[in-house]
Amino acid sequence: MAPKAPNRRPVPPKAAKASTEKRKQDTLRRAKAVIQRRTIYLMLGFGVAAFLALFAKAYDLTINQHDELQARASRQQTSSTTISASRGTIYDRNGVILAKSATADTVFLDPVVIKKQADALDEERAKKVAEGLKEGEKLPVSGEEYKDIIAKKLAEILELEEEAVREKMEKTWSMYETLRTRVDRDIGDEIRAFIADNETGRTIQGIHLSSDAKRYYPYGALASHVIGFLDGDNKGAYGLEAIYEEELQGTKGVEVTAKDANGSQIMFQYEQHYDAEDGNSLQLTLDANIQSYLERGLEDMVSKFGGKYGATGVVMDPRNGAILAIASNPNYDVNEPRQLYTEKFQEELAQVDEEYPPEPGKEHSAEYYDKLAELQKKQWRSKAVNDTYEPGSTFKVLTLAMGLEEGVINLNSNFTCNGGLQVGDRFINCSNKLGHGSQNLKEAVGHSCNPAFMSIGFAVGSNKFYDYLLDFGLQDKTGVDLQGDVGGILIDRDIFVKADIYLATNSFGQTFNVTPLQLITAQSACINGGYLYTPYVVEKELDSDGNVIKQHDATPVRQVISEETSATVRDILEYVVSDGGGRNGQVAGYRIGGKTGTADKTGIKDENGYNEVVVSFMCFAPADDPQVIMLLTLDTPSRFTGTFVSGGNMAAPTASAIMSDILPYLGIAPQYDDEDAGSADSTVPYVVGLTKDEAAAKLTEYGFSAYRTVGGGDTVTDQTPVGGAIVPASAEIILYMGAEKSGEPCTVPNVVGLSASEANKAITNAGLIMKSTGASGTKGIKAISQSLEPEKQVPAGTVVTVQMGQTVQHAD
């Protein structure tokens, strides 16, 4: 490049000079060429190679190592302040709060600091004593006094033993002694006030509070197995709290705090502020009232009849699978889930404590804690969802539905029972060993006749039968949004189809296992028109502003039987309650359908050699248009309560009592026929001041037909019950015609075992009013329990509720 500058001036033609000039030009050119060539190397090196190296390294950092470096960046930028998110609330279907979060304080001591302050006080005191006090000056408290003041006050506020606080304070090697975790905010505030202002005259150092969220369960044990509880880190440990952890917990917020070279923190008003997002709330299908009716019923049943392994109850809306109530007994208080709540468990634990005395210096032995953990897990189990059982006769509803659907039976089918059936090499007994004789389909179901159902099973055929088991969802998990959903345990299909014995026993609900929830789901399908729904408890998910984020979609999984079949099943099951083995399940004023069950646990005997059994009862109402279905089970009731062990005797009356609460609550109006009319409630009119005839007319107008008078006056001066009271219309009203109302209390008579009219007479004679619930009719129906104990003294006119029913001496 750049050719030599052309020499414009004339050069003298001297060869020597020309050659010198040329040489000079040559060297110049060569020197320039060297510079140019070597500059190109620099250009390539600095302009290309260097940048390629930089790019390669930068690519590695920003792309390959991006995630790791980004994580480090987030960690250091967000390490300082997190803004906690409030956990979502759990509501029942009506908005009643079942679980809610609020701020709470954990209180702990720093014994090291307390000792330091105490020592400083002693020193100061000694100095003051040595120097002598100035006028008006007070001697500071001594170290011991100081500690006493703290211990006393803390013990008082936190409801602890003063000794215990003092003991922790003496652990002067420790800097962290927890006194109580998660106390309410106002208790924390009380302590804060004490720290700042107290009789020692100084701010107390060494008492610390840390705030975090506490979970409150206003109803304690209500629906405990559904709701569950949190672990120590405020994360869901059990129940809905655990399975909806992600939805409930929310997202923590972050405030970026920058550090300067000294490690101190500088806050910037900058966009690096992420708001905490509160957790979503859950609205359940559960109804707190129905749940409490159910739990109370289970409690009653267990206390009356015993129940070695507890009891379960599920109340469901058969029209969509929504669970209105689900309970397992025993339960526990979710506020303190780690305590044991049943005497049996407490005794078991105490026994271990005796067997394995703790090592010195420790509170309990390792075995004790193992046992405690085991019992806690038992207590937390939701039996209705987690545990399977042999359903027994309540399963016959399904066999019935299959038979009708397949057309192998109809209402006119006839079954003969001789007290059992020979299947292969085994003779299988009917529950009634004398046999039921000849019976039509309704009667066979009413009798819960095993041979009849075995023959229905055989008519359906093992392959078809097994298909139905699967279609009813008995093998799969139900898909319910509850913890520990399990599937049933069926006999392997290959084995099942080979031998008749399995089909025979399955037909009446034995030799396979399902959970109560699975069974009620399948039974729902039998009576709701044939649709199998997925049971569920979470209706809606709401964000913190109350907007619905998710809504349960209640589309049926499949239709298992036809509408017609379902209607026939309903009809037959209504017969079972009105005239068959389920009469104890009647509820006055309502059409109830149901089926009892008393299931042997195949091969399991109790310590007295009896078969262990699960008694159960399934019922639904109204029978023609079911809006609610319920299944109760009682696992291994006592044989020594005087009540013959059967579902009809134990579960059905309980179900009747629960249903008589639930149905009016759901707004389903009772309809009384003549026979039942007496048990319908009516409001007593106010008749004081009227003549006897006027009063009688008014009473009739209000539905009261029975009255008697006391005294001989012209006008009514007083009445029992008083005007406005709501009592059964069958009650006898006492009109006092001038006579003094006796203040004497009345004695409750024992009416158990009497017929309805006998019981009413006895109670009326005692000056009380009877309200009868449960079964009606005369054939074998007797009072089986009463709401007030016999011999109890109560005011005149008190209502005694009598549960009517029938005790049969065979299982069902």
Site for other proteins, residues 228 to 257, rule: CB under 8 A: 256
CB of 71: closest distance to other proteins in angstroms?
9
Q: Which residue lies nearer to other proteins by CB, 35 or 495?
A: 35
CB of 70: closest distance to other proteins in angstroms?
5
Q: Which residue lies nearer to other proteins by CB, 252 or 344?
A: 252
CA 208 from chain centre, in angstroms, equals 35
Site for other proteins, residues 71 to 130, rule: CB under 8 A: 72-73, 76-77
DSSP 3-state assignment of 655?
A: helix
Q: What is the C-alpha separation between 262 and 245, in angstroms, rounded?
A: 40
Q: Which residue lies nearer to other proteins by CB, 40 or 366?
A: 40
Alpha-carbon dihedral angle through residues 332, 333, 336, 339, given to the nearest 10 degrees: -30
Q: Which residue lies nearer to other proteins by CB, 34 or 373?
A: 34
CB of 175: closest distance to other proteins in angstroms?
22
DSSP 3-state assignment of 620?
A: strand
Q: Which residue lies nearer to other proteins by CB, 72 or 498?
A: 72
CB of 18: closest distance to other proteins in angstroms?
20
CB of 42: closest distance to other proteins in angstroms?
6
Q: Which residue lies nearer to other proteins by CB, 30 or 377?
A: 30
Neighbours of 563 (CB within 10 A): 12
Does residue 218 have a cis bond before it (omega within 30 degrees)? no
Please report which helix (H) or strand (E) contains residue 328, including its range: strand 323-329
Q: Which residue lies nearer to other proteins by CB, 30 or 362?
A: 30
Q: Which residue lies nearer to other proteins by CB, 61 or 102?
A: 61
Q: How many amino acids of this chain bind other proteins (CB under 8 A)?
A: 49
CB of 308: closest distance to other proteins in angstroms?
59
Which residue in 135, 137, 260, 363 binds other proteins (CB under 8 A)? 260
CB of 37: closest distance to other proteins in angstroms?
9
Q: Taking CB under 8 A as the rule, does residue 51 contact other proteins?
A: yes
Cα angle: 514, vertex 563, 444; to 5 degrees: 60
Which residue in 259, 344, 377, 498 binds other proteins (CB under 8 A)? 259
Integer angstrom CA distances of residue 303 from 299, 309, 608: 6, 13, 21
Which residue in 266, 361, 609, 743 binds other proteins (CB under 8 A)? 266
CB of 14: closest distance to other proteins in angstroms?
22
- Among 309, 321, 316, smallest CA distance to 294 is for 316
Which residue in 55, 427, 610, 665 binds other proteins (CB under 8 A)? 55
Q: Taking CB under 8 A as the rule, does residue 11 contact other proteins?
A: no
Site map for other proteins, 267-296, x if CB under 8 A?
Answer: -x-xxx------------------------
Q: Taking CB under 8 A as the rule, does residue 178 contact other proteins?
A: no
Which residue in 17, 19, 21, 61 binds other proteins (CB under 8 A)? 61
Site map for other proteins, 23-42, x if CB under 8 A?
Answer: ----xx-xxx-xxx-xxxxx
Q: What is the C-alpha separation between 448 and 396, in angstroms, rounded?
A: 8
Question: Please, what is the angle between helix 563-578 and helix 396-406, to 10°?
Answer: 140
Q: Which residues contact 474 (CB under 8 A, 6 or more apart)?
A: 487, 488, 490, 512, 514, 518, 519, 522
DSSP 3-state assignment of 489?
A: strand
Contact between residue 541 and residue 552 where contact means Cβ atoms under 8 Å apart: no
Q: Which residue lies nearer to other proteins by CB, 271 or 674?
A: 271
CB of 257: closest distance to other proteins in angstroms?
9
Q: Which residue lies nearer to other proteins by CB, 97 or 258?
A: 258
Which residue in 16, 130, 261, 669 binds other proteins (CB under 8 A)? 261
- Among 557, 658, 558, smallest CA distance to 617 is for 658
Residue 59 has which token pair?
Answer: 């690519």
Q: Which residue lies nearer to other proteins by CB, 28 or 726?
A: 28
Q: Which residues contact 43 (CB under 8 A, 6 or more apart)?
A: none
Strand stretches in 548-610, DSSP E: 548-551, 558-559, 593-605
DSSP 3-state assignment of 42?
A: helix
Q: Which residue lies nearer to other proteins by CB, 3 or 361?
A: 3
Q: Which residue lies nearer to other proteins by CB, 22 or 152?
A: 22
Q: Taking CB under 8 A as the rule, does residue 350 contact other proteins?
A: no
Which residue in 43, 129, 499, 706 binds other proteins (CB under 8 A)? 43
Distance linking the first and last C-alpha atoms of the chain: 115
CB of 259: closest distance to other proteins in angstroms?
6
CB of 338: closest distance to other proteins in angstroms?
38
CB of 493: closest distance to other proteins in angstroms?
56
Contact between residue 759 and residue 725 where contact means Cβ atoms under 8 Å apart: no
Look up residue 664 and give its DSSP letter: H
Question: What is the DSSP annotation of 740-789?
Answer: PPP-PPEEPPP-TTS-HHHHHHHHHHTT-EEEEEE--SSTT-EEEEESS-
Tokens 């109803």, located at residue: 219
Which residue in 11, 53, 434, 548 binds other proteins (CB under 8 A)? 53
Contact between residue 405 and residue 561 where contact means Cβ atoms under 8 Å apart: yes
Q: Taking CB under 8 A as the rule, does residue 22 contact other proteins?
A: no
CB of 56: closest distance to other proteins in angstroms?
9
Q: Taking CB under 8 A as the rule, does residue 470 contact other proteins?
A: no
Which residue in 4, 66, 185, 377 binds other proteins (CB under 8 A)? 66
Applying CB under 8 A, the span of 51-59, 333-341, 673-681, 706-714 interacting with other proteins comes to: 51-59
Q: Which residue lies nearer to other proteins by CB, 9 or 779?
A: 9
The CB-based long-range contact list for 44-48 (8 Å cut-off, 24+ gap) reads: none
CB of 47: closest distance to other proteins in angstroms?
4
Which residue in 11, 18, 54, 706 binds other proteins (CB under 8 A)? 54
Q: Which residues contact 385 (CB under 8 A, 6 or more apart)?
A: 225, 326, 480, 482, 483, 484, 485, 486, 515, 516, 517
CB of 21: closest distance to other proteins in angstroms?
15
Q: Taking CB under 8 A as the rule, does residue 434 contact other proteins?
A: no
Q: What is the C-alpha separation between 83 and 492, in angstroms, rounded?
A: 54
Q: Which residue lies nearer to other proteins by CB, 59 or 665?
A: 59
Q: Taking CB under 8 A as the rule, does residue 362 contact other proteins?
A: no
Contact between residue 567 and residue 404 where contact means Cβ atoms under 8 Å apart: no
Neighbours of 504 (CB within 10 A): 25
CA 173 from chain centre, in angstroms, equals 44
- Among 321, 810, 286, 293, smallest CA distance to 587 is for 293
**Residues contributing to the site for other proteins (CB under 8 A):** 1-2, 27-28, 30-32, 34-36, 38-43, 46-48, 50-51, 53-55, 57-59, 61-63, 65-66, 68-70, 72-73, 76-77, 256, 258-261, 266, 268, 270-272
